[in-house]
Chain A
Amino acid sequence: METVSKAPRRRSRFFLAEARVAYLCLLPAFLGLIFLTYVPLLGVLGISLTNWTGLATPEFIGFDNYIKIFTTDPYIKDSIIATIYFAILSVIGSMIYSLFIAMLLNRKIPARGFFRAVFYVPYVLPAVAIYVGWSWLYEANFGFFNYLLSEVGLHKVLFIADSSYVVPSLSLISVWLAGNLIVIFLAGLQNVPIVYHEAAEMDGANGWQRFLHITLPSMSPIIFYNLLMSLIANLQVVTPALALTNGGPGNASRFMTYLMYDQAFVNYKLGYACATTFIIFAILAAFTIVLFKTSNRWIYNEGGDDK
């Protein structure tokens, strides 16, 4: 970093040439984003102001869809609560779990490569197979977990069949699936300068203190990245609702993306679904902005401010 940033005098000409190449290379991606993301996004906004069902000609109805969503919609409130509840549990759970596992896997243990693979495998398994497998564990009447509980004489737990337990149960699957976070944490851990640890050890810092004052600060950019990715992914959760719960029991797992899917492709209220989509977008944007705004308070950036 240091060697590059000391700029020579001829910087401006060099910079211009470099910029030209950079813009040229950015162009295809930029065009792709414009036409495949932003234009359709405006399209969604446009459709959300109509009553389009896919059949009859859409009529412009102003903000009626949005008004309906916030006044009479029987699902939206439960849906937002369920999604945020799920995202918070899953993000916190998977961050702690994956950092913990990554730190264990970063030690010089026997068969380290094998264990690294073991913890990554869930992430690459086909999602539907995973959820079907977990459904056998969670099943309320004869599922494996309930079999174990009944063997030790405990009452049954209804897991995904109970509106209070369904979100924590699904979050547990999501935590178990966090193999990708482990890999990224592992890469980050290997970049924590060993000299800091050695110096701290000389000063008599114990393991917890070294974790708190060296590992965590050094890892903070990685933690931020994982936090952001995990938050966005978990706020968009839909697979467990599609594969396992159908949004139930009640509305307990009727996540926002599932609600949107249901409106658009089961009930064919496309205008209404687009309005829901925009609300999801606003919620995601709000969470992301808050995360970015607060990030510079706790991220320790060794490379300094990159302007």
Chain B
Amino acid sequence: MKAGKSLGAGILSVLLVSGVVGCGNNEDNTASPSASASASSGAEASKTPDTSSSKTEKVKITYSMWGSAEEGSATQAVADKFNASQDRIEVEVVSIPWENYMTKLNTQAAGGQLPDTGMMKEDGVIQWSSEGMLNDVSAMYEGSDSQPLDSLAYKYQGKPVAYAAANEVLLLYYNKDMFDKAGVAYPPSALDKAWTWDEFVAAAKKLTVDKKGKHPDEDGFNSDGIVQYGASIENLPWQLETWVLSNGGGFYSDDGTEVRVGEDASIEAIQKVADLYLKDHVAPLSVGQTDDGIQRTIIAGTVAMATNGAWNVGTSLNTAKEEGLNYGVAVLPYMKEKVTLNTGGANVVFSQTKHPQEAMEWLKWYNSEENNWGLISSGIWMPTLEKWYTDETLTHKWVDNPNFPPYDEYKSAVVDYAQSSAARPASWFYTNHTTDFNTLLGSILGDVWTGKTTAKDAISKNLEALKAAHEGSN
């Protein structure tokens, strides 16, 4: 009986564990049939018109987007205008919640049930392209009067495979009241007057105050009692690339094939960002655990300057402005070269579609800025077509509204900046496996921000793993 009991206990224990672990796995197994089942109706709808070649029948295409059901119906309303404007193409919009978006696309791809066209997360485009899932879209803007900014084309093996649905650029936000109080000149909004790194740190020191009103470098300054920090550089890996490029280094070579993060210039730039907290005592500690930099700094009212993307104007700063925040926008400081990063989620045409021409025609129509005016006028998206940046009447139409900082400031620090030579595409526009690389880099740098190790030690020790991540082999 004794043996029987322990055997029974052993079996029971295995069952218990497998039950619990198994539960987690059920989801990925059971999810695929149900997801593709619900998607199949859309895909079938797009297949049926194939059989009839009569001109009265419209070609049906589906467009998937991330967002709530309400956002979906708002987009459908835009698509209905397109549907009414011509008699060849009928667009149906499918909205999928952001959290499940890429997972759902993956399951649809596995089942051959993808929509014809849709949005795609930045870091997925090159991967999907390399697996042959995306169509070449170089024909999309042929013969068009205004093209998207060149930095907004996703390129795989030199060919454009997608255009960004929106433009975003990294900026320096600052709290004007804090500058006025400290008697420090505002950071420049004009690129040719951009602060050097040393000027930036010097200003940040004047804006950093401890409980007794002392600044770093002053006698008796207490770094444990800081009540206001001067500056915060967002250190999420993809944004960190800005500083590495600015110091003459890089995460990758220009064509995205080689890893350059181990070079001295790259490491030095990362250490300089870490030293803002460790040595200069002008920045709060951030170890890259959350993606809410502007809320934690400018909006919380604890930091005078902070870097982050242009979307913050519309997603959080305009509300804070209504509640009394007096903020401004400026160009980023620089180390050796003036650099900011462009980015923006992509609109793609899937290679499974039977109607690539119609899909591109819809995207081109939809991507014309009038159709995304809500997102653009609120400051969340910036237009992608060049004319909005070069034609000042259009720029006025875009920026001259109360959601934005003063026109001249935004025009110089954002509109002109975004089309200047400083604006470079974020690496996911031309490099594969950026998620793997950025995740690993972020984990490697965890102890660098707190000063337990140096950027040099951390990166040198893990350089081979980073190279493997870049090749997609770990």
Contacts and interface: CB of A to CB of B under 8 A. Distances in A.
A54 B26 contact: no
A38 B225 contact: no
A178 interface: no
A244 B289 contact: yes
A11 interface: no
B167 interface: no
Nearest to B288: A248
B462 interface: yes
A143 to B, nearest CB: 11
Given A160-B289, A292-B9, A251 B446 contact: yes
A150 B223 CA distance: 10
Given A37-B18, A43-B29, A254-B443, A285 B285 contact: no
Max chain A C-beta neighbours (<10 A), residue from B28, B446, B450: B446
Contact of B14 (A162, A232, A277, A285): A285
A161 B448 CA distance: 11
A249 B439 contact: no
Contacts of A36: 22, 26, 30
Interface in B444-471: 444-447, 449-450, 452, 462, 465, 468-469
A289 B128 contact: no
Interface stretch (B100-108, B264-272, B304-312): B100-108
Max chain B C-beta neighbours (<10 A), residue from A37, A40, A44, A249: A249
Interface in A263-291: 264-268, 270, 274, 277, 280-281, 284-285, 288-289, 291
B287 interface: yes
Contact of A163 (B225, B446, B469): B446
Contact of A246 (B29, B289, B302, B469): B289
B1 interface: yes
A41 B110 CA distance: 20
Contacts of A305: 1, 5
A281 B18 contact: yes
B106 A161 contact: no
A75 B109 contact: no
Contacts of B6: 292-293, 296
A236 B290 contact: no
Contact of B29 (A44, A257, A267, A268): A44
Contacts of B445: 250
A79 to B, nearest CB: 10
Interface in B354-396: none
Contacts of B290: 246
A72 B107 CA distance: 28
B74 interface: no
A292 B12 contact: yes
Contact of B13 (A68, A74, A292): A292
B30 A40 contact: yes
B444 A250 contact: yes
Nearest to A249: B446
B107 A54 contact: yes
Contacts of A37: 18-19, 22-23, 26
Interface residues of A, number: 66
A48 B460 CA distance: 32
A285 B440 CA distance: 29
A187 interface: no
B20 A289 contact: no
B234 to A, nearest CB: 14
Given A249-B449, A257-B24, A38 B288 contact: no
Contact of A54 (B18, B106, B452): B106
Interface string B280-297: 000011111110000000
Interface string B338-349: 000000000000
B302 A142 contact: yes
Max chain B C-beta neighbours (<10 A), residue from A38, A260, A267: A267
Contact of B22 (A41, A53, A56, A264): A41
A259 B303 CA distance: 33
A250 B447 contact: yes
B446 A285 contact: no
Which 4 A/B pairs are nearest by Cβ-Cβ distance?
Answer: A250-B446, A249-B446, A54-B106, A141-B284
Given A55-B128, A55-B133, A288-B16, 11 more contacts: A36-B26, A44-B25, A55-B106, A73-B474, A140-B284, A140-B287, A150-B225, A161-B287, A245-B289, A246-B289, A267-B439
Interface of A: 33, 36-38, 40-41, 43-44, 53-56, 68, 72-75, 140-142, 150, 154-156, 158, 160-163, 228, 232, 236, 244-252, 254, 257, 260, 262, 264-268, 270, 274, 277, 280-281, 284-285, 288-289, 291-293, 295-296, 305, 307
27 contacts: A36-B26, A37-B26, A40-B22, A41-B25, A44-B25, A55-B128, A56-B132, A74-B465, A75-B443, A142-B302, A150-B211, A161-B286, A161-B450, A163-B452, A232-B17, A232-B20, A245-B289, A249-B287, A250-B443, A250-B445, A250-B447, A257-B24, A267-B439, A291-B13, A292-B9, A293-B9, A305-B1
